[in-house]
């Protein structure tokens, strides 16, 4: 029984509302902007099973966050559908009092076999990442030569299972910007919200350069050429995407402009990586290990107190302070660990 949720905020007055938990650092893709194949090659050392959080540990952590005020949990990775016992984890998350929204971010390939089971377990929403509609472009983006069809089939399976579906497209200049309009048209016809994500300087291995960012403004302009957009009200405090509607329809399109329009002032998200480290910012250089705390015997009350202390000291606002220098030189946690 959790009782009333404590109200506490970080140093910039931001409450804790969302938990993003990465359930594995492994992935069946090698997206150029996330896990470039030349770095995440055959000799790359992924976490051993005993280095990952167990399902019991993840559930206990989620319970602590829920009691501290988190209402939403997003499961991510690496590729979360590769994690053994994922439906069981979802089922146990759904039983936690106070968690009212469970979502998953995935590359979609395994949704065909897993969507129905996940829905049954209590999953509500999926965000499927898809960066192109043209096979040749997508194959290069994902680095392993997988075509578009398996992902489109995954999206269809998620919809058929009754999950709410959104599609995420990261745009990298010179790689997939040719796909902006085809993707927008296709998902408008399908009435599936598409969100364009600016290529971000997460981690240190993706060779990020500001010249490779296609800005929200540029993408917006391209879309307006085939259909005018009108802005939608923010749905809740801390919403990351700025959302629009195609005029005369109910179909949405959104932008996550982390590089050109920062949203740190309303950032209510905590992240736990696959190895059980708590980070209070996507671009953090360091975190604190909840796994070690748990494995040294800390009980739920101690973990809760620890998380609350960390949150109350939080001052992160990386995107607001980003310079080309920090973007290129600051040591940051890889996306495949921290999960986006």
**Nearest to ligand SF4 of 66, 200 (CB atom):** 200
Could you tell me the smallest distance in angstroms from the CB atom of residue 296 to ligand SAM? Answer: 29
**The two three-digit tokens of residue 278, written as one number:** 């708590």
Least distance (Å) between residue 65 CB and ligand SAM: 19
* Residue 206, contacted partner among ligand SAM, ligand SF4, none, CB below 5-8 A by kind: ligand SAM
Q: Is residue 101 helix, strand or coil? A: strand
CA distances from 101 to 164, 221, 236, 292 (A): 11, 33, 13, 28
The CA-based angle 261-245-213, given to 5 degrees, is 35
In the numeric block, the tokens 């194959």 are attached to 139
Contact flag: residue 27 with ligand SF4 (CB under 6 A): yes
Binding track, positions 294-323, relative to ligand SF4; x by CB under 6 A: ----------------------xxxx----
Three-state secondary structure of 324-336: HHHHHHCCCCCHH
Q: Decide the pairing of beta strands 101-106 and 72-76.
A: parallel
Stretch that binds ligand SF4, among 28-36, 49-57, 151-159, 217-225 (CB under 6 A): 28-36
Could you say whether residue 35 binds ligand SF4 (CB under 6 A)? yes
Q: Closer CB to ligand SF4, residue 118 or residue 270?
A: 270
> Which parts of this chain interact with ligand SAM (CB under 6 A)?
27, 33-34, 76-77, 79, 105-107, 129, 168, 170, 197, 199-200, 202, 206, 335, 339-340
Residue 324, φ and ψ in degrees, nearest 5: -60, -35
Q: Which does 102 bind (CB under 5 to 8 A by kind): ligand SF4, ligand SAM, none?
A: none
Q: Which residue has the tokens 């990775």?
A: 77
Interactions with ligand SF4, residue window 37-96 (CB under 6 A)? 77-79
**Contact (CB, 8 A) for 217 and 260:** yes
Residue showing the smallest CB distance to ligand SAM in the complex: 340
CA quadruple 54, 59, 64, 69: dihedral sign: positive
- Footprint on residues 90-109 left by ligand SF4 (CB under 6 A): 107
**Segment contacting ligand SF4 by CB under 6 A, of 3-11, 179-187, 209-217, 277-285:** 277-285
Report the distance separating Cα 193 and Cα 38, nearest Å.
33
User: What distance in Å separates the CA atoms of residue 13 and residue 45, rounded to the nearest whole number?
Assistant: 39
For residue 267, the partner it binds in ligand SAM, ligand SF4, none, with Cβ less than 5 to 8 A by kind, is: ligand SF4
* C-beta of 147 vs 228, nearer to ligand SAM: 147
Q: How far is the CB of 340 from ligand SAM (least distance, A)?
A: 3
Nearer to ligand SF4, 31 or 293 (CB): 31
> What angle do helix axes 111-121 and 149-160 make, rounded to 10 degrees?
20
- Cα angle: 136, vertex 137, 140; to 5 degrees: 90
Helix (H) or strand (E) holding 76: strand 72-76
Tell me if 138 sits within 8 A of 178, measured CB to CB.
no
Nearer to ligand SAM, 33 or 89 (CB): 33
Choose the binding region for ligand SF4 from 64-72, 81-89, 260-268, 325-333 (rule: CB under 6 A): 260-268
**Could you say which residues in the range 117-146 bind ligand SF4, by CB under 6 A?**
129
> How many residues appear in the chain?
340
Joined tokens for residue 203 = 């981690």
Question: Which residues contact ligand SF4 by CB under 6 A?
Answer: 27, 29-31, 34-35, 77-79, 107, 129, 263-264, 267, 281-283, 316-319, 335-336
């Amino acid at each position: 029984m959790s009782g009333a949720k404590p109200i506490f905020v970080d140093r910039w007055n931001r409450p804790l509302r969302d938990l993003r938990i990465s359930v594995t650092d492994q992935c069946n893709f090698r997206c150029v902007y996330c896990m470039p194949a030349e770095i995440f090659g055959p000799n790359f050392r992924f976490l051993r099973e005993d280095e990952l959080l167990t399902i019991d540990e993840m559930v206990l952590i989620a319970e602590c966050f829920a009691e501290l005020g988190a209402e939403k949990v997003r499961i991510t990775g690496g590729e979360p559908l590769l994690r053994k016992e994922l439906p069981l984890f979802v089922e146990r998350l759904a039983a936690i009092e106070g968690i009212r929204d469970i979502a998953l971010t995935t590359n979609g390939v395994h949704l065909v076999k897993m969507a129905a089971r996940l829905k049954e377990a209590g999953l509500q929403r999926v965000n499927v990442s898809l960066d192109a509609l043209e096979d040749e472009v997508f194959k290069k983006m994902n680095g392993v030569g997988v075509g578009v069809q398996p992902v489109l089939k995954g999206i269809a399976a998620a919809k058929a299972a009754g999950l709410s579906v959104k599609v995420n497209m990261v745009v990298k200049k010179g790689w997939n910007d040719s796909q902006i309009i085809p993707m927008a048209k296709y998902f408008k016809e399908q009435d599936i919200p598409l969100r364009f994500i600016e290529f971000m300087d997460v981690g240190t291995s993706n060779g990020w350069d500001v010249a490779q960012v296609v800005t929200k403004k540029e993408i917006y302009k391209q879309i307006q050429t085939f259909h005018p957009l009108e802005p939608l009200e923010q749905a809740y405090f801390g919403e990351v995407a700025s959302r629009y509607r195609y005029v005369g329809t109910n179909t949405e399109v959104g932008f996550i402009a982390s590089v050109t329009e920062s949203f740190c002032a309303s950032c209510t998200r905590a992240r736990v990586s696959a190895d059980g480290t708590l980070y209070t910012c996507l671009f953090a250089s360091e975190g604190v290990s909840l796994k070690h705390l748990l494995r040294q015997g800390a009980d739920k009350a101690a973990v809760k107190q620890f998380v609350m202390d960390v949150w109350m000291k939080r001052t992160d606002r990386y995107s607001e302070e980003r310079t080309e220098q920090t973007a290129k030189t600051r040591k940051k946690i890889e996306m495949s660990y921290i999960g986006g």
